[in-house]
Amino acid sequence: MNKWLAFVLFVVAVGSVVFHFVSPWWFTPLASNWGHIDTTIVITFWITGVAFVAVILFMAYCVLKFRHKADRRAAYEPENKKLEIWLTVVTTVGVIGMLAPGLIVWNQYVHVPDGADEIEVMGQQWTWSYRLPGADGVLGKTDVRNITSDNPFGIAMNDPNGVDDVLIEGDDLHLPIDRPVKVLLRSIDVLHDFYVPHFRAKMDLVPGLVSYFWMTPTRTGSFEILCAELCGTGHHIMRGTVVVDAADDYDAWLQEQETFADYLAAAEAAKTSTARLALDNEEAEPKAAQ
Amino acid sequence: MTVFKTLTEKSWQTPGSRDKPLTGVAALPAATIALRFFFATVTVLFMLLIIAYGARMAYEDWIPGPEPKLLWLNTAFLIGSSLAMQWAWSATRRGDVDSVRQGLLAGGALAYAFLAGQVLAWRQIGSMEAFAITNPAIAFFYLITALHALHLLGGLVAWGRVMWIGRGQMDLSAIRRGIELCTAYWHFLLIVWLVLFGLLFSGNGNLEFILVLCGLR
Amino acid sequence: MADASPTADDYVPPAEVEDVELYHPKSWITKWVFSQDAKIIAIQYSSTALAIGLVALVLSWLMRLQLGFPEAFDFIDAEQYYQIITLHGMIMVIYLLTALFLGGFGNYLIPLMVGARDMVFPYVNMLSFWIYLLAVVVLVVSFFVPGGPTGAGWTLYPPQAILSGTPGSGSGIILMLASLILFIIGFTMGGLNYVVTVLQARTRGMTLMRMPLTIWGIFVATILALLAFPALFVGAVMMMFDRILGTSFFMPAILEFGEQLQYGGGSPILFQHLFWFFGHPEVYIVALPAFGIVSDLLSIHARKNIFGYRMMVWAIVIIGGLSFVVWAHHMYVSGMNPYFGFFFATTTLIIAVPTAIKVYNWVLTLWQGNIQLTLPMLFAIAFIVTFVNGGITGLFLGNVIVDVPLSDTMFVVAHFHMVMGVAPILVIFGAIYHWYPLITGRMLNSAMGHFHFWITFIGSYAIYFPMHYLGFMGVPRRYFELGETEIYSQSAADLNAFITIAALVVGFAQLVFLFNMIWSVWYGRKSEPNPWRATSLEWQTPVMPPEHGNFGDELPVVYRWAYDFSVPGAADDFIPQNVPPSAVAVSDDPETAPA
């Protein structure tokens, strides 16, 4: 039994390491500037991996070596201060080795570089919409209370910055390559989370406030957006796509998008045509009555 | 320091009964210790509510809640109730049965007066023009006062038990512990109420001052 | 240096705390149903917890079937799936683990191990159980109301928990919150009992530092619970107000499928703060009793004192204290102020130090021990494996930047199942195999036990270890199905199917264990008193299983700590706590003589 258990412990320790190295399941290929995140994970893997293997193998050795014999006595050693202090120090060093790089990278994560483009991601059950600042480079103010079918983003009518905002509903988000982008996140119903595995970055969308993260796309291609915060029955179908374009392709795409002004014009036109229709009907009615 | 000494004992070195007298909290009657732990639990409860209130106040769209004048009268009732209980407890130690009975009755009656006053305050606010249940200040007022009132009601159950056991001749030895614990509980709830009233319900200025001190507003 | 010589002080001063006046059951009903005996209450708590836990186990099978073989099972739709995961999580964490460790083991072991006749407030103790039972009943009722139970995830985050896009947002969520409120009230009653009993009802000579670590773990966990549950209570009451009265504590101005709602001005993040101010200590409410119990199992079955007893006690206290300043590490990507990340990552990783020390001391207890691979010992060793594994993945998630890509993925699911699912449950199994003879007077069947152990240990490792790698790939948690996506390969789908099969096998092994527990009550091998040759007081009762009042006519007097195993110079390899120094048999064997 002791041998068998020691063997199993050995297999668990070594097998876990082997699994780690041969497993085909690993991060998606990186497509943003957050290579540092991967580095901190690798550092953490090394430090914790060594500790894990050491503890389990030590235990396997003990199980094998100190198995019960009726004529033997266990050692009597209530404590060993020197050993305990030594172990504490080693552990502390290991923890600092993981924490310090982590905090440095986190510091980069929370500080958006100057000149980053601002875009907005808006979540609702269970779709993604996007808003780009338009020609003036500034996003218009919004409020959930302004939302109507003509103004799905709730842009404030009295904010001139909002008129030229580019609105993207039910379509892919495009981003230019190699330009840092500050992603502003907002939700109009429940919590969501904007998560693109290839970018590593993610952040919740919280109704009532605007959260953010930043990143720089470093690879062209199209990447899947997954919602990563449970948001109701349709959580798993809340998907979207980010397309990272070369600068020219991006500009060409941007030209084709509708602005809030276009939305307002369309709404106006619809109103006029509805009004005309109503007028027509009114004219038609007396005839019908006759 | 005794805690430190206790926790550094090398207990494997000293076989023997080494029966030291109980010290510190462990020397108190069990019910007193339990009540103190309960105070800690309730303190956390109301502390979290105050923090939540303050966090919400730091938002820009905060509308201060109404401050019914009636609350001052209720506060006076509660202070009176606590004093009466204290009087009953002092009389218990003197063995003055008549004073004990009067003190307990006055304490209970004033506590009920406080609760009635709170209900009246709810109705006053509910019938105000500015009443809106979505206004967080008003919602917090109802929530916090209701929780405080429930705790007091729980105390009144214990008070009722003391009155029941002490009915008729009033055997002080049978209800001594009960009076002591009720008194402590009354004082505790009074302190909780004074903090709540002072910070939240007598003008948000006081809590706002703290928020400013902490740089939150 | 241990002293086994008969010259030491045997003097016993008179008791200071008066002997408890025991209540005397008058009828069958008050003896077995409305009992005030902590041991009966413990069994009531444990059976209720295991019964509702069985429901959660079945729920986990359904969930795994859906994940492993999406689209194969028509009877699980997305709504049901989210209800299943919500209730699985909630039941396992609150109604099973918390109730079993504190209500079950706490009630049974505290009075026995500190040398008391019963809890100090037996009547309140009884109420505690019945309110817990009521909480469970309310929870079960929510399965059958229109709209079903809530499917908001066990974290119950608003706004979605109370909006119509989530299953069970009608009566389901209301009953869930009501059940939690009841649970907290019931628990507070029990918790006050456990704390005061430890502080005040210890028998003569039982100083705090002579208590077994089991008691230390349960004691500190109970204090944590008393201070942490109010946060959940406040959160639950506030959400109830939002749901029923239309207040806006957690509800900002929002839309519900295009419809403007009346809410406005609330903060969803406030709920998360309240929830996790409770939720993180909750992890340790489950972990600390497990730490304590496993320390005792290792020591007893390795015939060696626990290594670094004082350090173990301090670590429990320090971990308990620190657990109140780490809660927001569950919220790194919640949209809260990102500067909090620096503070909470630091505090979180500091906890790793005392926790690591505990692990070192456990394995150092095995070093130069005389290890008996009994079933409790097997489970204790398996606990160390899974706990170390789950603990180090906690270092990934606690380090704020590493958490960013991993949070809300299957990595998180794998991490917390390993560290607060599998690990504490392995301890529970070990503890049941260990104390079953004390409770029933019979041993559990060993063959069934070994079958149960090997399947459970290897099986759960096979379930959760590979699951981390799904998280690395970016597979989010709480997905009904992943569908067509480029982040997911066929091999990953196969892995998911494998995990499901492993989960079903492990689940089956638990049925064998349940059968063993019931079968052995009547057919188990009769146990001699103190079958493990343990030192702590619960094994030193005049009759086994202990009767009402625990210790017969006279309470034991304690002369030593709980870990006098293999003391040099003593004839036996263990000295019970209540053996006075003068009564210790001295060995004439030169091998064991004092140096």
Tell me which amino acid residue C121 is: F
Closest CA to A253 of A183, A177, A185: A177
Cβ(C561)–Cβ(B12) below 8 Å: yes
CA atoms within 13 A on the CB side of B49: 30
A74 with C342: Cβ contact below 8 A: no
E strand or H helix at A119, and its extent? strand A117-124
Q: How far is C120 from chain B (nearest CA, A)?
A: 7
Task: Measure the CA–CA gap between C84 and C87, rounded to whole angstroms.
Answer: 5
Query: What is the pLDDT averaged over residues C310-320?
Result: 96
pLDDT at residue number C2: 43
**If you ran DSSP here, which 8-state letter would residue C212 be given?**
-
B59 touches chain C (CB under 8 A): yes
pLDDT over threshold 50, residue C1: no
Report CA torsion sign: B210, B213, B216, B217: positive
C159 to chain A: which residues are within 8 Å by CB? 189-191, 207
Work out the pLDDT band at A39, boundaries 50, 70, 90: very high
CA–CA dist C227, C187 (Å, integer): 12
Identify all chain A residues contacting C389, using CB atoms and an 8 Å cutoff.
Answer: 16, 52
**pLDDT at residue C419 above 60?**
yes
Contact B34 C199 (CB under 8 A): no
The residue length of chain A stands at 290
Given pLDDT bands bounded at 50, 70 and 90, which one contains residue A181? very high
Cβ within 8 Å, pair B8-C267: no
As a whole number of angstroms, the longest Cα–Cα distance in chain C is 87
Which among C8, C17, C208 has CB closest to B16? C8
- C342 close to C401: Cβ distance less than 8 angstroms: no
CA-based end-to-end distance of chain A: 102
Q: Indicate if the pLDDT at residue C20 is higher than 80.
A: no
* Chain A interface mutation, best of C1, C389, C401, highest count of A Cβ atoms under 10 Å: C401
Residue at token pair 């009720």: B182
Q: Indicate the residue of C248, C249, C561 with minimum beta-carbon distance to B11.
A: C561
Q: Confirm or reject contact between B24 and chain C (CB < 8 A).
A: no
Mean pLDDT of B181-200: 94
- Give CA–CA dist C56/C46, Å, rounded: 15
Cβ–Cβ below 8 Å for B48 and C205? no
Q: Quote the Cα angle for C554-C560-C561, to 5°.
A: 115
Distance from CA of C494 to the nearest CA of B (A): 47
Closest partner residue to B26 among C191, C199, C231, by Cβ? C199
A118 torsion bin: left (phi>0), alpha (psi -120 to 50), beta (else): beta
Decide if B177 contacts B29 (C-beta within 8 A).
Answer: yes
Would you kindly state where each structural domain of chain A is located, as residue ranges? 2-67+77-110, 117-269
Closest-CA distance, C353 to chain B, in angstroms, reads 19
- Among the residue ranges A263-277, B148-162, C202-216, the one predicted with the least confidence is A263-277
| Interchain CB contact of B16 with C (< 8 Å) | yes
- From the CB of residue B94, how many other CB atoms can be counted at a distance below 10 Å? 10
Instruction: Tokens 């200040």: give the residue.
Output: B137
Give the residue-averaged pLDDT of B75-101.
Answer: 95
Closest partner CB to B19 (pick from C192, C204, C561)? C204
Which residue from A minimizes the CA distance to C255? Answer: A189
DSSP C66-109: HHHSTTS-TT--HHHHHHHHHHHHHIIIIIIIIIIIIIIIIHHH
| Least CB–CB distance from C566: residue in A28, A74, A208 | A74
8-state DSSP, C140? H
Asked if the model's pLDDT at residue C400 lies above 60, the reply is: yes
* Nearest one of A15, A41, A8 to A27, comparing CA atoms: A41
Six-digit token string for A118:
């601002």
**Contact call for C353 and A88, based on CB within 8 A:** yes
* pLDDT-wise least confident of B133-137, C244-248, C321-325: B133-137
Integer Cα distance of A7 and A13 in angstroms: 10
Owner of token pair 């309140």: C124
Tell me the C-alpha distance between C10 and C13, whole Å.
10
Which positions 71-100 of B are in contact with C (Cβ < 8 Å)? Answer: none
More confident residue, A150 or B117: B117
Residues of A whose CB is below 8 A from C476:
195, 226-228
Is residue A24 classed exposed, middle or buried when 0-12, 13-18 and 19+ CB atoms within 10 A define those classes?
exposed
Query: Which has the higher per-residue pLDDT, C223 or C200?
Result: C223
Chain C residues close to A191, C-beta within 8 Å = 157, 159-160, 268
By the 10 Å C-beta count (0-12 exposed, 13-18 middle, 19+ buried), A279 is classed as exposed
User: Using a CB-CB distance cutoff of 8 angstroms, which residues of chain C are in contact with residue B181?
Assistant: none
Q: Do C163 and A12 touch (CB under 8 A)?
A: no
A206/C339 touch (CB, cutoff 8 Å), yes or no: no
- CA-closest candidate to residue C323, choices C369, C359, C288: C288
B213 has a chain C CB within 8 A of its CB? no
Between the alpha carbon of residue C126 and those of residues A144, A210, C19, C35, C178, the distances in Å are 51, 49, 20, 7, 20
Q: Which residues of chain B lie closer than 8 angstroms to C201, CB-CB?
A: 30
Mean pLDDT of chain C, nearest integer: 92
The b-or-e profile of B42-57 (16+ CB within 10 A means b, else e) is: bbbbbebbbebbbebb
Largest CA distance in chain A: 118
Q: Check CB contact under 8 Å for C2 and B139.
A: no
Interface contact flag, C265 B59, Cβ < 8 Å: yes
- In this prediction, residue A130 has a pLDDT band, given cuts at 50, 70 and 90, of very high
pLDDT at A281 over 70: no
- In this complex, which of B6, B26, B37 lies closest to C226 when CB atoms are compared? B37
Q: pLDDT category, B202, cuts 50, 70, 90?
A: confident
- The tokens describing A247, both together, are 């600068």
- Per CB-CB distance under 8 Å, the chain C contacts of A12 are 385, 461
Does C589 have pLDDT greater than 80?
A: no
Whether pLDDT at C61 is above 70: yes
Tens-digit pLDDT profile for residues C342-397: 999 999 999 999 999 999 999 999 999 999 999 999 999 999 999 999 999 999 99
Provide the residue type at B142 as one letter: Y
Residue of B39, B35, B47, B74 lying closest to B158 (CA atoms)? B35
Mean pLDDT across the stretch B52-68? 82
Kindly report the nearest CA distance between residue C161 and chain A, in angstroms: 8
pLDDT at B205: 67
Contacts of C5 by beta carbon, 8 Å cutoff, 6+ apart? C569, C581, C586
Going from the C-alpha of B2 to that of each of B21, B23, C200, C584, the distances in angstroms are 13, 9, 16, 31
ipTM comes to 0.93
d(CA C168, CA C173) in angstroms, rounded, equals 6
Statement: residue C213 has pLDDT above 90: yes
Cα–Cα distance, C73 to C75 (Å, whole number) = 5
Contact criterion met (CB below 8 Å) for C101 and C282: no
Residue A66 Cα to chain centre, angstroms = 50
B153 touches chain C (CB under 8 A): no
Q: Which residue of B has its CA nearest to C226?
A: B41
Q: Please list every residue in chain B whose beta carbon sits closer than 8 Å to the beta carbon of residue C237.
A: 143, 147
B48 with C310: Cβ contact below 8 A: no
Q: Chains near C, with 3+ CB pairs < 8 A?
A: A, B
Contact between B144 and C247 under an 8 Å Cβ cutoff? The reply is: no
Does B2 touch chain C if contact means CB atoms closer than 8 Å? no
Each residue's pLDDT tens digit, A50-99: 999 999 999 999 999 999 998 889 999 999 999 999 999 999 999 999 99
Rounded to the nearest angstrom, the minimum Cα separation between C518 and chain A is 27
CA distances from B194 to B71, B197, C373, C440 (A): 11, 5, 60, 53
Please count the CA atoms within 13 angstroms of the CA of C515 that sit on its side-chain side: 12
Residue given tokens 């429990």 in the structure block: C316
Residues C302 and C370 sit within 8 Å (Cβ to Cβ): yes
- What pLDDT is stored for residue B27 in this prediction? 76
Q: Do C274 and B59 touch (CB under 8 A)?
A: no
Tokens of A56: 């389990």
Domain A117-269 classification at class level: mainly beta
Distance from CA of A290 to the nearest CA of C (A): 42
Instruction: Enter the tokens of residue B96.
Output: 């003055």
What whole-number distance in Å separates Cα of residue A21 and Cα of residue C486?
22
- Name which of A78, A208, A228 is nearest C309 (Cβ-Cβ): A78
Q: Does B215 touch chain C (CB under 8 A)?
A: no
On whether the CB atoms of residues C449 and C516 are closer than 8 A, the answer is: yes
Angstrom distance (rounded) from CA C93 to CA C477 = 18
Q: What is the pLDDT of residue B123?
A: 92
Query: Hey, what domains does chain B have and what are their CATH numbers?
Result: 24-58+70-213 (1.20.120.80)
Q: How far is CA A159 from CA A120, A139, A162, A168, in A?
A: 16, 9, 6, 19
Query: CA of C564: which chain A residue's CA is closest?
Result: A76
Q: Are A144 and A187 in contact (CB under 8 A)?
A: no
Q: For residues C411 and C422, give the distance between their C-alpha atoms in angstroms, rounded to a whole number.
A: 15
